[in-house]
Amino acid sequence: MNWAKIITLLAVSVVASSQTQQTPPQTARQAVLEMLFSKSPKAFEKHVPEQALEIFQAHQDEIRLIFSDMGLPSLSGAELIGQAKALKPDVKTVLSSGYTESELKGEMVKHGIDGFVSKPYDARLLLQTLREILDGKKLA
């Protein structure tokens, strides 16, 4: 997989809690983010949706992909993506959740989400999904 032309990435994730099955443990979450950030020459990570939107507004010309958890404080990952798409309709988006894709299908269609990755993450599948979304495939 050639990541030489990869984008600026905005990853929005909730800080993990060992009490929640829908959020991967801190070490798994950090490993995924480190893997993504190692592939992207410029990446942002935020845990608060409002901060993520501020970063997106400031860097929307650079950011080509938003990868977000569904379960965020104050608004859902789908809502965050919807607000980002209102600013830049062609931004590529991937939602992640412990819920199944079929359980979230309505939200994904409503907010124009391009792809979905289930938790727990499979690193190979995650990178493959992100690459396919960046290549223009809609997987949701």
pLDDT above 70 for 1? no
**Residue of 56, 28, 31 lying closest to 44 (CA atoms):** 56
Highest average pLDDT, of 74-78, 83-87, 108-112, 123-127, comes from 83-87
Q: Give the per-residue pLDDT at 22.
A: 42
Per-residue pLDDT reduced to its tens digit, 53-78: 988 898 888 888 888 888 888 888 89
- Cα 83 to Cα 59: distance, rounded to the nearest angstrom: 15
Q: What is the value of pTM for the model shown?
A: 0.78
Tell me whether residue 80 is in a domain.
Answer: yes
- Cα 83 to Cα 60: distance, rounded to the nearest angstrom: 12
Domain CATH for 32: 3.40.50.2300
Tell me whether residue 15 is in a domain.
Answer: no
What end-to-end distance do the CA atoms of the chain give, in Å?
Answer: 21
Q: Give the per-residue pLDDT at 39.
A: 67
Element (H, E) at 107: helix 101-110
Tell me whether residue 106 is in a domain.
Answer: yes
Q: How confident is the model at residue 87 (pLDDT cuts 50, 70, 90)?
A: very high
**Residue of 120, 125, 114 lying closest to 1 (CA atoms):** 125
Q: How confident is the model at residue 85 (pLDDT cuts 50, 70, 90)?
A: very high
- Looking at per-residue pLDDT, the higher value among 56 and 45 belongs to 56
> For the packed helices 26-39 and 123-134, what is the interaxial angle rounded to 10 degrees?
40
Tell me whether residue 92 is in a domain.
Answer: yes
Domain that holds residue 45: 21-134
Tell me whether residue 2 is in a domain.
Answer: no
Q: Give the per-residue pLDDT at 8.
A: 60
Mean pLDDT of the chain, nearest integer? 77
The mean pLDDT of 35-46, rounded to a whole number, is 72
44, amino acid identity: F
| Total domains present in the chain | 1
Tell me whether residue 112 is in a domain.
Answer: yes
